[in-house]
Structures are given as C-alpha cells and as structure tokens.
A and B are shown apart, each in its own frame.
Chain A
Amino acid sequence: MVDVTDRAKNHKTVGYYPGCALEGTGHAYNRSTKAIASELGLKLKEVDNWNCCGAMEVKNIDPKIQTYLSSRVLSNAHNTDHMDVVMAPCNGCYHNLKKAEYDLSHDAESRAVVDRLSSKAGHPTYKAGQVETIHALDWLKGTIGEEGIAARTKGKLAGLKVANYYGCMYTRPRHIFPEKDQGPGTESTSKPHFMDDLLAAAGADNVDFALKTACCGGAHTLSDSDTSTKLVANILRAAEASGAEVIATECPTCHTGLEMHQIRAEKRFGIKTTVKIMYFTQLLGLALGVGPRKLGIQENISDPMDLIIEKRLT
C-alpha cells in the first residue's frame, strides 16, 4: 500500500490529470484549480499525452479496457513525467484511477490484460504502487491544510452559508480507497469532510447537509432525464432547507447536473430553487483574493455574481 504520509511532502508538485470533463463542461473547475495552484505556489504538471480514464461508457462495456485506459495515464505519469503523485479533480477520473490501481494490485487477469494492451500500444506497463492518485481535496488538505488556508484567507468567506456536496463517486466503493477511514486526519467514506474542513478554514459557515453524498442522477441524465431532474431538485431543496446559499461541488458531472437540472426542474416540474452552485476551488479562489473571471465564475449557469458582490467576495 502507498505511504500517503511520505508522499504528502511531494504534493507541492503533482502530476495533473484534468480528464475530459475539465476540458469541456467542467472548464471552470480547470481554471479555478489552476488559479488557486498559482496563488498558493503549487505546481501542476499536466500528464503527458493523457487519455480518457474510461469513464462510465467504457466501463459499462468492458471493465478491463477501463482499467487499461486508466493505467496508461498512470504509466505516462510515471514513465514519461517521472511523477509519483497524480492529482485528479474529477470524481469520475479519480474513482477510475483508484479502481485501476486496486484491480492491478488484486487481480491477475487485469494485470495480464494491461500487460498485453500496453505492449501492443508500445508503452511501458504500469505497475501497481508506482503512482499515488489523489483528489484535489487531498492535494489541498495535505499540502496547504486548514491552517495554511486560514492564514491566507483570513476568514474571507465568513457569513457565507455553504452546503458541501461530494456526490457518490468520491468515497465509493470503500475498498478502492485504502487511505480513507484510517482515523483522525483521514477522509471518511460515510461522512466525508475534507471540503467542509477547507471551506470552514476560509471562514465559510457550513450547514448540516443530509444529502452530501446522495446520488445526483448523473448516470441517468440521458436515459431518464426526469429522474435526474427530480433527484437534483431534491438535493437543491434540501440544501435550501438547510439554510445554504451556495452548494460547493468537487465533481464536474455533479456540478453540471445540478446547474442544468436546476433550470429543468423549474420548467418541467415548477420546482424553483435559487441556491447557487460553485466549485469549491472557485470559493477558495475568491477567499484567496483571485478575481471571479480567473476562476471561471462567468461560466457558472446559476450565476452567483450577485451573491459574490453581496458577500463582498470580490
């Protein structure tokens, strides 16, 4: 198993795997992640010639191909970039790289498939343990931490009521995240708190949010839009009922789903909600004094600018 404590030292420079979503619908997440890295003096070295992690589509057709695709990203990070830590902000990418790591550690058939396809593609086979995959939350928590965030932001988010929404892929299934649930200081798979910790350090007033790990319906978006809309509407209503002004997100799929279905919920079911949806990196960026444009705020469909001005976050 990877020694997380030792590698935390290396988090000031990490291999950066944005994945497809951050180059498309999650562009603002990409921008804001890079903006806060720059502000905090952290270096993101984009993984050379990266490819799709296999996402949902490939995984549903052939899970071994998904394992190979994710392993190729890790192979490039290790063999081409000489990195031993890869940071993936997207929950789907993070989940798939962790799953590939688990499969290659525990399943001989997965290793055989990855060996064969890597050889055919002409690149070195990735071996389990060569690279540690972390999420953007791990990266900031391990490298800057709450004290560092508090010292740099001086409570800038004070008075902002935030519901932290993690979605379902950041912690599930438990067995692919061996570093979680290891006691104080580690992330919890049942009650995740890293985002809560970081935003609270920046002064945010986190609300008690019962649906913080509930499904956003992302997988149903195309096949059954009404169910997705109802699931999202429920999350939005629950956040508002908890007193939240903003839902902080850390997954581009969840974020896009919340924003799109917020509009659809009103049109289709007459359920109107006004809670804003922002990436946690955008909130931290504002707390660090980065301008809204650099954080891609103008790309948010829920348009939080009035709230940002009201709360004097810019």
Chain B
Amino acid sequence: MSRSFEDIEARIAALGQGGSEAVPAARELLALGEEVLETWIAARGDVPTDELKEGFRILALHRQGAKGDPSFNACRETARELVYHYNLITLEPDDPATASRVAMMSMIAGHLCLFVGGKMEVAGLGEFCCSSRPVRAGGG
C-alpha cells in the first residue's frame, strides 16, 4: 500500500504492453487490482480483509469497500471482469487469444485504478490531500 496510484497505473499499463509471461502478468494484474481496493479501504480507516468471496480476495475487498457507499458498486463488475480475465488466462494459457486477454486485463485493471483514484479524490481521501487529512479528521 506504499505505492502511489500513478505508480500502480504505470505498472498496469506496462504489463498490458506485452513482453511479460502471461500467467505471471495476470497474477500481478489481479494483485494490483487488490492493491487499489486495499488503498481505498485503508484510506477510509478500515483494515483490508483477507477473506475470499467466490474464491477471490478482490471480490471480498470490493464488497468491503462498498459498505456504506453504494456508488462504489459502479466498479463491482470491473472487479468481476478482472477475475474473469484472470481465469481465462490462467486456465487456458496456450490459447491464441491469451496475449490480447492480458492487454484487456490491463485495461480493466487500469479502469479500476482510475475509478477508485477518482473516488478518493472526490472523497478527499488518501494521497491527494495528505496534509489536510489530520485537520479534517480533527487531529490537527
């Protein structure tokens, strides 16, 4: 959770360019999606869950992140599409479409990153206003 959204976004884009092996790339993209959601949850003062939902932590993290903020569900299907593409790539790594699936998974992860980054900015959370957060939280 130490990386900035800009760094995460850059790494996601790099993985989508190709050049990495597909299965490790898919694993990393899924982990980057989790990292984005962890950042949102932690910025709201919660501890990101380690639980799984339907076998995936990212889906449990999304559910946790949407608690008390129904508009966060606008990225629910994005998280699910990330899982879907992860499954396609890891279950059928030799499929001729694997390279394009990795590129698509990168775009999906990028969308999640942009959406959550935008939500954090609107909500005044996280890295966008670190100096003002203690003031708003009543601590300074």
Contact = CB atoms under 8 A, between A and B. Distances in A.
Q: Do A and B come from one complex?
A: yes
B107 A224 contact: no
Given A168-B74, A173-B73, A242 B115 contact: no
Interface residues of B, number: 24
Nearest to A229: B114
A298 interface: no
A224 B103 CA distance: 26
Say what secondary structure dominates the interface of chain B: helix
Contacts of A228: 118
Interface-centre pick from B80, B107, B122 (highest chain A CB count, 10 A)? B107
Contacts of A214: 74-75, 77-78, 111, 115
Interface of B: 70, 73-78, 80-81, 84-85, 100, 103-104, 107-108, 110-111, 114-115, 117-118, 121-122
A164 to B, nearest CB: 13
Interface string A190-228: 110000000000000000001111110101100110011
10 contacts: A212-B77, A214-B77, A215-B74, A215-B115, A227-B121, A234-B107, A234-B110, A238-B107, A238-B108, A242-B104
A224 B122 contact: yes
Contacts, number: 70
B107 A211 contact: yes
Interface residues of A, number: 26
Interface of A: 168, 172-173, 190-191, 210-215, 217, 219-220, 223-224, 227-228, 230-231, 234-235, 237-238, 241-242
Contacts of B104: 210, 238, 241-242
